[in-house]
């Protein structure tokens, strides 16, 4: 396993039983690899265990279209300037149907010109939440009208979970993973989205 980060190297032969259990759950789940924040979280098996289950739901189980979930993740990666998070999710967002122009605008720190109202609403909600730490009544009502109350709860969960992911990747300087993604490529993000 090739890992570049601030953390001590993970030695599979010296893993604690709890680490092995969590590693097996992660590798056997929908992700299938130990990339991204799990390279850090595996050092705390209890955190990794809870986080991987929440992450699997936020990424694969919400009521939101995959395109909107991936847009929320990309917005979060750009907001937190999380290169590794961006590198993981940029191709996934593209495959899920997020327009190239939206991806590039977020990457460059510009406001995207949205063709879809639901995408503009996701980014507006994320920006408001990250900037003011609140969502006013009008924006809340608009989001509930567009997505439904349960999906808005889940969308806020996606923003919160992926902020945790971004902070983890940034603090521990996770640069490389065990999966097929080229974590040693040059940084893609150009500026924060304010």
Per-residue pLDDT tens for 82-132? 998 999 899 999 999 999 999 999 999 999 999 999 999 999 999 999 999
Q: State how far the Cα of 127 lies from the Cα of 125, in Å rounded to an integer.
A: 6
Alpha-helical regions (H) of the chain = 17-28, 38-41, 45-60, 66-80, 83-96, 100-108, 117-132, 137-147, 149-171
Q: What is the pLDDT of residue 53?
A: 87
Give the tens place of pLDDT for each residue, 11-68. 778 888 888 888 888 788 766 677 778 888 888 989 988 998 899 899 999 999 999 9
Other CB atoms within 10 A of residue 174 CB: 26
Asked whether the whole model's pTM tops 0.75, one would answer yes
Sequence-separated (6 or more) residues with CB below 8 Å from residue 101:
112, 113
Give the pLDDT confidence score for residue 130 in this predicted structure. Answer: 97
pLDDT of amino acid 74: 97
Nearest by Cα to 107 from 99, 119, 115, 96: 99
Written as six digits, the tokens of 148 are 């439904």
What is the per-residue pLDDT for 168? 94
Residue 138, pLDDT > 80, answer yes
């Amino acid at each position: 396993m090739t890992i570049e980060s601030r953390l001590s190297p993970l030695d599979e032969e010296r893993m604690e039983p709890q680490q092995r259990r969590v590693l097996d759950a992660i590798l056997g789940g929908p992700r299938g690899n130990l990339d991204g924040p799990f390279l850090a979280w595996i050092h705390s098996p209890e955190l990794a265990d809870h986080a991987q289950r929440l992450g699997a739901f936020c990424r694969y189980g919400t009521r939101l279209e995959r395109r909107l979930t991936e847009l929320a993740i990309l917005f979060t990666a750009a907001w937190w300037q999380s290169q590794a998070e961006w590198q993981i999710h940029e191709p996934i967002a593209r495959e899920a149907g997020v327009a190239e122009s939206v991806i590039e605008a977020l990457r460059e720190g510009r406001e995207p010109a949205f063709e879809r109202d639901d995408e503009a609403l996701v980014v507006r909600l994320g920006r408001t939440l990250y900037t003011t730490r609140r969502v006013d009544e009008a924006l809340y009502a608009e989001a509930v009208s567009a997505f439904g109350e349960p999906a808005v709860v889940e969308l806020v969960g996606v923003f919160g979970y992926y902020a945790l992911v971004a902070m983890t990747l940034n603090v521990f300087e996770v640069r490389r993973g065990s999966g097929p993604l080229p974590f040693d490529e040059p940084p893609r993000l150009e500026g924060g989205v304010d």
